[in-house]
Chains A and B, each alone.
Chain A
Amino acid sequence: MEILADLLRALRLRLRGVVDPDSAARDIAEELRFHVDMEAARLQRAGLAEDEARRLARIHFGGFDRYTEQTQDARGTRLVEDTMQDIKYALRMLAKNPLFTSVAVLTLALGIGANAAIYTVVDAVLLEPLPFDDPTELVALYTENEAEGQTRYMVSPMDFDDWRTQNNTFASMAAYWPTTGTVTEDDGNPTRVQVIYTTEDFFDVVGASPLTGRTFTPEEGPGSNAVAILAHGFWQRRFGGDPSIVGQTVTLDGAPTQVIGIMAAAQTFPLDADLWINMTWPMQIQSRFARWMSSVGRLRNADALPAARNDLAALAGRIAEENPASNAGWTTRVERLHDEMVGDTKTALWVLLAATGLVLLIACANVANLLLSRSEVRSREIAVRTAFGASRTRLVRQLLTESLILSAAGAAVGLALAWVGVRGLVAIAPVAVPREDAIAIDGTVLAVVLGVSILTGLLFGLAPIARLVGSGVHDAIRDGARSTGSATGHRLQNVFVVGQLALALMLVTGAGLLVRSFSNLRAVDTGFTPSGVVTMQLDLAPSVAANDTAVIGFYAQYRDRLAALPGVESVGDASSLPLDADHDYVNPFRIDGVDVNPDQELRAAHRSVSPGFFETMRTPVLQGRTLTPDDRLGSAGVAVVNEAFVKRFFPDGSVVGATFRNVASRFGPLGAINIQDAEVVGVVKDLKYQGLRLDSQPAIYFSGLQSSIRRRTLTVRTSAAPSSIVPLARRELEALSGQVALTNIQTMEDVVSGARARDRFSTLLLSLFGLVALSLAAIGVYGVLAYSVAQRTKEVGIRMALGADQSVVRGMILKDGARLVGVGLTVGILAALALSGVLATQLYEVDPRDPGVLAAVAGVLLTVGLLASFIPAWRATRVHPVVAMRGE
């Protein structure tokens, strides 16, 4: 019984060590003090002075650290107590060196924060699967025509119908047609909406289910009534999220349409959809020439992509054989839907993620160097602790705790940076980021950041540990041994600095290339003068303008009203706006009166622009004239072509005076060209339509008075402030019709800058990272040299005492710096050359190995590196021989 009580007491003792390690430690300290006091008292009795007795008692007692540790060891609560103690000790050490700590934490925060922010976006955009059933089976289907330079083009309803019914590899296929419509309320207030006309099985193919209500049934296909499904965002904006809207009707383009369901926010496809309407027209009545539908398919299984590509290509070949006039040269393209939605952003994001990874590596190297430098200072402390019996594992744990606390602090600050950064990134991101509002630092990101910070903590923490624990205890304690003991540490530091410089060079080179590419893009001739032009889009529903004449008349009247406004210099409109067009309508043409280049298939973009458009855009006229108000219905048909048209089809001669035959055509529900023949009256300079990077395609501009395109963008050149013209334009529009909404109001400068947005995004971020890398590398070089100067104080002192010139000493240090920088730059240049392919797709008219950029970047780094060396070198010459020789 008594023995049981003894055991219980022992157990309680152990528990106390865990629960209240402080009091346990206090007990030990007190017990210890008592012992030393008693010993001192004995020595004093033996005749020693009090001080001496005390000192001896202390020495008799032996290693204080080891004693405490072993005593605690004996208590069986070692691990917990140690860890707590390590953390306390580490915090104390870090607090004692606020400069070191804040530099290290900030450096890490930059590295970790940048990674967390970019990773958050990468995760949301690239890694998260699409929020549909079995999303890997979903593919986007396109047509392509190499000869015409058409990639990822749309499909005609008849072709689509053949694909859908004759393929062997798809589970299902749906077509959709994104367009705009106007929803009006009872009070007549119009709202422009993005309408997606879809085949009735669209949501089954995509694998999306409604939030409330239902999707289209198989009966709601051709010949049925149009019904509407609302997108979540539109439902919230317009109906305040009222679920009772299901079953009621909305007025779309003047027609009452029943709402049958609402889709969840995540399942908004395409991303900008406001509402979906079932296609109620049959596929087979449309022409194969009219390619205007987009298409999405579901594979029988996710691995069937190659088979599906072959399948559809074979099908397209067959269709082309049977219908050479409309389909010769047209093939198909099948791509994973996710890849397509991510688009160009993919490479840009991976490049940025790689860049932030490099920044983090540089940050790690920097902190490792800081720790190494500090470990020199601390080597004696460590050696003393080792001598007093602190074990090596114990010291390693202690040092690792410090590193991990640093990296944890870095991660915490970094996360705060990332939190701000992600908002900024999404705000300036050049693409519609899918589920934009859902982007947040979530569990995955936190886990990644945690992993990264632990990894970095270990990465930069191990170097000084290897250095400290590896060095001989006795060397470190001995006074003169500082320089010999630091040899390994110094070499390691040099390696880190070289690595930093190399990484920084790679980053800055990348940034340099992008900057170069961006300035090339800025210099691209768009073919128009954007400043002073305001653009706004409108779309005339049949309820507003019943027929072609009404459409043409409406726009003519509206242009006249706008032109009469104060400050307005000129007004035009266009079926599609330069640099803002989704797709051109590329159709075949026939031309009489001149010899055509026989090597080329006769196809060109058909665009419709009103008189005044080229004048408003200030597009230079190269030959003949532009369009005038007389080029209207009833007069002779006319057309203007662009420079690219002449270059491709009439490389040797003039086209003015030739005549296009049978140009009359109808672009589905969009509108029509209402003339039979059109005489070419002029040639204008190329306007950029499909982005700044692509060469302009041949284009024919028909008169907006001879074609009845319903959706047009008005261009208004004004000397007044662009914002002041918009309310006036609205007022004039209301005077014409209360059912039309003005949308997409933007200045032409916004449009151009939008076309450069992705490049600006990458360039901006990579430049930022390059700058961070450059400063970190400079700090690295400076740190290592400053430290080496401190190390060599005595040597320098002796040299100067022996009469060495200041310049010699300075040269000595600078040479060290130059060697580091030289090696770093060489390694960096080699690595940059090896990795040059990564950026190739992001660049515009810049060779990724551009020697000019490389030389400039190397020059910048060299300058920065030498500047960073100069301060330590200068300081070395300030060493006073006497102070230096005294040692400490």
Chain B
Amino acid sequence: MTRSRADLLQGTLEMLILKTLAVGEPLHGWGVSLRIEHLSSDVLTINQGSLYPALHRLEHKGWIRSEWGTSENNRRAKFYRLTALGRTHLAEERAQWDLFAGAVQQILQAT
């Protein structure tokens, strides 16, 4: 029970990160979390304990890539950008999510 929920969340987080990076310029981890909060109108708060492992996992899969750059306040920071591989996966994930969300929606509306 616990496990499946964690999996679901993890998968979702990865998709959200990919989507966030797909929208615009490269972002650092902090930026990713801000952007997700912002885009969800502060409904979703990213747990940093999950964010960085997810970022590294994605990078390790080759879906995103990172490089060190300078942040808006002139600090060294690591910026992530989506790769072509990641773009393909985002599309797949998205399709699956739509399918899943649609199914859930259907069930909830059944009564």
Contact = CB atoms under 8 A, between A and B. Distances in A.
Interface in A21-78: 27-28, 30-32, 34-35, 37-39, 41, 60-63, 66-67, 70-76
Majority DSSP secondary structure for residues of B touching A: helix
Interface stretch (A8-16, A305-313, A876-884): A8-16
A888 interface: no
A10 B86 contact: no
A32 B86 CA distance: 23
A71 B52 contact: yes
Contacts of B94: none
Given A34-B30, A76-B60, A6 B78 contact: no
A37 B77 CA distance: 11
A735 interface: no
Interface string B80-92: 0001111010000
Nearest to A2: B84
B38 interface: no
A67 B49 CA distance: 5
Contacts of B49: 61-63, 66-67, 70, 389
Residue among B60, B83, B85 facing the most chain A CB atoms (10 A cut-off): B60
B93 interface: no
Interface in B24-78: 28-30, 47-49, 52-54, 56-57, 59-63, 65, 71, 73, 75-78
A9 B81 CA distance: 13
A7 interface: yes
Given A39-B30, A62-B47, A34 B84 contact: no
Nearest to A69: B53
A31 B60 contact: no
Given A61-B48, A62-B48, A74-B53, A3 B88 contact: yes
A393 to B, nearest CB: 17
A63 B47 CA distance: 11
Contact of B62 (A7, A37, A389): A7
Interface residues of A, number: 33
Given A2-B83, A62-B47, A35 B62 contact: no
Contact of B60 (A30, A39, A75): A75
Given A3-B84, A3-B85, A9-B65, A35 B48 contact: yes
Nearest to A31: B78
A62 B53 CA distance: 13
Contacts of B53: 67, 70-71, 73-74
B60 to A, nearest CB: 5
B77 A31 contact: yes
A66 B62 CA distance: 23
Contacts of B29: 31, 34-35
B78 A34 contact: yes
Given A2-B83, A34-B76, A37-B75, A10 B48 contact: no
Contacts of A35: 29-30, 48, 52
A38 B84 CA distance: 29
A28 B53 CA distance: 10
B32 to A, nearest CB: 10
A6 B84 contact: yes
Contacts of A71: 52-53, 56
A60 B51 CA distance: 12
A268 to B, nearest CB: 66
A35 B29 CA distance: 7
B48 A67 contact: yes
B92 to A, nearest CB: 13
Given A2-B83, A6-B83, A74 B48 contact: no
Nearest to B45: A60
Contacts of A3: 83-85, 88
Interface in A191-212: none
Nearest to A38: B30
Contact of B52 (A32, A41, A60, A76): A32
Nearest to A35: B30
B86 A6 contact: yes
Interface in A67-91: 67, 70-76
B51 to A, nearest CB: 8
A41 B74 CA distance: 14
B77 A34 contact: yes
B48 A60 contact: yes
Interface string A365-404: 0000000000000000000000001000000000000000
Of listed B30, B56, B73, B84, residue having the most chain A CB within 10 A: B56
Contacts of B75: 34, 37
A6 B62 contact: yes
Nearest to B30: A38
Nearest to B56: A74
Nearest to B88: A3
A827 B71 CA distance: 71
A76 B54 CA distance: 13
Nearest to A72: B56
A77 to B, nearest CB: 9
Nearest to B64: A6
A451 B56 CA distance: 39
A70 B13 CA distance: 15
Given A31-B29, A34-B71, A67-B53, A13 B59 contact: yes
Kindly name the residue among A13, A30, A38, A60 whose own CB sees the greatest number of chain B CB atoms within 10 A: A38
A61 B53 CA distance: 13
Contact of A7 (B47, B52, B54, B85): B85
B85 A13 contact: no
B60 A10 contact: yes
Contacts of A28: 52, 56
Nearest to B33: A35
B88 A74 contact: no
A37 B83 CA distance: 28
A813 B88 CA distance: 72
B97 to A, nearest CB: 21
Nearest to B83: A6
A10 B86 CA distance: 12
Contacts of B86: 6
A28 B86 CA distance: 22
B76 A30 contact: yes
A101 B33 CA distance: 46
Nearest to B29: A35
A6 B65 contact: yes
B48 A13 contact: no
A74 B60 contact: yes
Nearest to A34: B77
Contacts of A32: 52
A9 B53 CA distance: 18
B10 to A, nearest CB: 11
Contacts of A70: 49, 52-53
Contacts of A34: 28-30, 71, 75-78
Contacts of A30: 76, 78
Contacts of B76: 30, 34
B62 A9 contact: yes
A445 B78 CA distance: 53
Contacts of A27: 78
A189 to B, nearest CB: 83
B56 A75 contact: yes
B30 A13 contact: no
24 contacts: A3-B83, A6-B65, A6-B85, A6-B86, A7-B62, A9-B65, A13-B59, A30-B78, A31-B29, A32-B52, A34-B77, A35-B29, A35-B52, A60-B48, A61-B48, A66-B49, A67-B49, A67-B53, A70-B53, A71-B52, A72-B56, A74-B54, A74-B60, A389-B49
The 7 lowest CB-CB distance pairs between A and B, nearest first, are: A10-B62, A62-B49, A74-B57, A70-B53, A74-B56, A2-B84, A6-B85
Given A6-B62, A14-B60, 15 more contacts: A6-B63, A6-B86, A10-B61, A10-B62, A27-B78, A31-B77, A32-B52, A34-B28, A35-B29, A35-B30, A35-B52, A39-B48, A62-B47, A62-B48, A72-B56
Interface of A: 2-3, 6-7, 9-10, 13-14, 27-28, 30-32, 34-35, 37-39, 41, 60-63, 66-67, 70-76, 389
